[in-house]
Every structure is written in structure tokens, then in C-alpha cells.
Structure 1
Amino acid sequence: MAESVPVRCPACRREHVYAAPSYPCVCGAPVTPELDRDAVPESLTHHTWDDDWITVRCTACGRRDQWPRPELGCPCGTVLRVPLAQERSGPGDALTEEADAEGESESGVGTGTGMGTGGEPEATASGSGSDADADQGSDLPAPPRPDSRRPRIPLPRAAPTPRPPFKPVTIRTARDAVTAAALYLRWLGYQDIRRANHRPPSGIGLAARGVLAQVDPTLRPASLRDVECLWLTAMTESTGCVYFSLAGYAEDARSVADSLGVPLFVLDLTGTPQPVNSLADELVAAGA
């Protein structure tokens, strides 16, 4: 359970007890940002995408993902941005972590293994062995050399790890709808989820490796134009696309989505996206 910390509103001086929400990691463990008890909360006047999301490390598997920044609404009308303990660390800590990660990736490549890039032993500089005996006129025939062109037997691939059950986030606001869609894309296997560079005609655009998503948190069913605009934008960026709507889709929008290959999902209030067409069912079954 997340630890509760006291938070005092700088506008009305009212004190609250706040606990940061937990979000499910892909490994199934809850991820909760650590709050700073000593720092003073800030009054938030407007939202930006970069400031609304933070990178938090899962204590169970070590995976780093982006999650919504903790915020608290005071009854006086002030929105408070709750300080995080990770923001107290200096830039040297981040550099140290990056250096450790680079060192781990380089530690097993070409260091004392005596193996070349192709997995074969590297040739030594000394003229020892059967090749040297052959060069010195030995009566013994040189052993046959392995044929480097001989095809290698491919190693069997490991079976894909099954995904844990999706843990939804209850939708109460438009921001919750965007968070639910981002969590679902991450659960499907998409990485580096961020806000898209383009601005869709309605809703919020999300982008990840290999997919462009549109989240429509309004109470109006998504129209034919909405689906076509998403598909055209994805075509220009040579990527796939998926649509999340809170209020469903118009009949012609569903028909054109099937013809264009756009998976459609409906967000219920529990935060669980429900497939609308067969393309969405296939995406859920196969993943990213």
C-alpha cells in the first residue's frame, strides 16, 4: 500500500493527507512513485504533456515506464503538484545509472572470450598447431578446415511469455481515459508511448513504436471523418493505427475502419478497452 504523506495547500493553507496511486507494471507488480515529505507542493495553472508524465522504475523487475504525475485537487480550487523523492537526486545519479546500463551491455561482447563476431574462435598470431606444421613441411597432412559456408542449424526460439491480466484504471475524467489507453497499449507490448506530434481533429493523439493511437474521451461517437483522418496520418508516417473511443462509433465509421484496417476499441468506465471489430480482436490476441 502506498505511504500517505501530509500535503499543505499554499493557497488556503489547508492540510491534506495524500497517497500516490499505484499502476500495474507489465510484470504484474504495482508501481508507486515515492513522494517527498519535505518538499513544498506547487500550484498547477496549466498542464503540459512533458510535465504530466514521469518515469518510475518498477522495484520488482527494474523496468522503467512513464506514469501520470501525482496531483491533488484542493477544495479551494487549487490543483497541487505533489513533489517526488526522485526529483531530489542530482543529474549525476542519472548519469551513473546510464553508465551502469552501458557497462552491462558491453561487458559480454568481445572481452576475454576469444570469439569473433560470427561466434567462431579468432585466429591467433602465433604459428602453432597443425597449420604451422604444414607450413614447416611436416609429413603429416593438415587436418581439414571447417567449411565456413556450411549452413548452421538455427536454435529453437523460446516461446513468447504470456501477458499478465490487464489491470485497468477507473475513468472519471478525460485524462483518465488517455491514461487507460496508454496503459492498454503498453500491455499490448508497445514501447516508448508518448504524445503524438500531430493534433487530431478530436481527442488526444498517442504515439509509440509501430503505432499511432487516437483517444476520444468525449460523449460523441467517433465519426467517419475521425477514423479516416487517423488512418491518413498513420499512412503518412508509415505506421499502424488504433482508435479508442469513450462513446463508441457511428455505423459508417465502423464500416470504413474494417476496410482500412483500423482496430477499434470502446473504453468502458472501468478503464478496460473493449474490442469493437475483428481487427481489434486480432490485435489483442497477437499483441504488438
Structure 2
Amino acid sequence: MESVPVRCPACRRDHAYITPVYPCPCGSPTAPPLMRGAPAVLITHRTWNDDWVSVRCHSCGRRDQWPHPELCCPCGAVLRIPVRPVATRGTTAPSTTSATAGSPGPSHIPLPPTAAHPRPTFRPLVIRTARDAVDTAALYLQWLGFRHVVQPETRPGSRIDLRAAGLIAQVDATTRPTVLRDVECLWLNALNASVAGVLFSLAGYTDEARSRADGLAVPLFTLDLTGTPQPVNGPADELVSVGPRPPAPGA
């Protein structure tokens, strides 16, 4: 897989970014061609058009739309990685790739080295809609070890998207960073139900939201369009490492 150096324009931290690989319908692994040396772009506002990029398969020449490569910096910034544009020559018409039953998925998320118990590799779900974001979060929570993860038929006024044994979760699939109020509302709902609360966000979090989540021990995860959840605070790292805590006696 191709790796390029990326510097965060917000905190100046250097990263080694590895290109995500997707399966073309022909079966060949396909990856967006990154532009070496081009600076990463800080994402402050999302649009669906900017979140997708054309990628041509080197094996069959097919051109499809794939999620634009992104990187979540530990400082909280979400960076868009520049991609070389696809040449317009050729006769293959652009098409939109969709997930089909039995087709291979994108590259797997490696198990953190601090994980207490081995897990099977997590297979991401490419996010194209808000429903996809909720489905991805549900799959990830099951991968972490939560049992009976379910989605309410209608979203309640508390904005809870997912429930599991000992857990409630909210998925913010909007194009704006998740704010302080969302963290506090989730924490209060979890406290009232005597369960843990987890937040997933497609656009990241404000500094106030991250600081409050750290103080309340609320795990925060970001989602990118490849369907790859990433922990962004200490409670989330701990959840990935040790998994769900056993329920209290009588719970």
C-alpha cells in the first residue's frame, strides 16, 4: 500500500498516511492515487461532493467514485489528503460503486496492540448516507464486544441511535463538528439509564466537546467515508483496548 508523509496544518504534527484500498467490481484492489508533497487540507465544512473522488482501476479501466482519503489528527483536526485527478481519456463511463452481497470489503482495521482479547478483523462499510453511518457504528460496537446492538425504529427525542446491553450510542452524521451540548445530552441520558454512552461523529468534534467528553469519560469516535471508526480521546482508546465492561450484579 502507498504511504505518504502528511503534516497537520493545525498542530504541525507529522503523520505517515497509508492509502485505503477498495475492491473494484472486477476484483482488483484499487486505491486513490495520492499527490506526494501536496499539503493536506483542513476540513472545516463538509459537502458530499467534496467527500468523493474519482478512482480508475488499473486492471479493467473502470472509473468509480470512492471516499476522498482523510486523516484524523490527535489534535482534533480532520484532514483531506490531496489526490491526483483521474485522466479523462478512455471509454469507460463513470459509475457509482455499491456494496453487494458477497463482495469483498475495504481494507480491515488492525487490532490495537493493547487489546486484551483477540478479535476478528473489522470489515468497514463504505458510508454514503446517514443510515450507512449508523449501520457502521452498530457493526463497530458489535466488533468491540457489545451484545444485541439494535436501532430504534424511530429516533427518539433523546437522539439515541443505537442501544445495546449496557450501552446507548449517538451517531452525528451531519457536516458540522459535534458540539458540547451533544456530549452532555448523551452523558445525561446514559446516566439516567445507568449505562455507558458512546458518540460517533462524521465531522469531528469542537474543542469544547472533546474537553467535556474527557471530563465525563465519554468515548468519542470519528467516522470517515471508508467506514473506519477512529478513537479520538482516552476513554475511546480504553474502550477499544479492553472492550465493554461486565455489567454490574443485578443489572
What TM-score do you get using the length of structure 1 for normalisation? 0.44
Larger radius of gyration: 1
Higher relative helix content:
1
Which structure has the higher relative contact order (CA within 8 Å, separation 6+)? 2
What TM-score do you get using the length of structure 2 for normalisation? 0.50
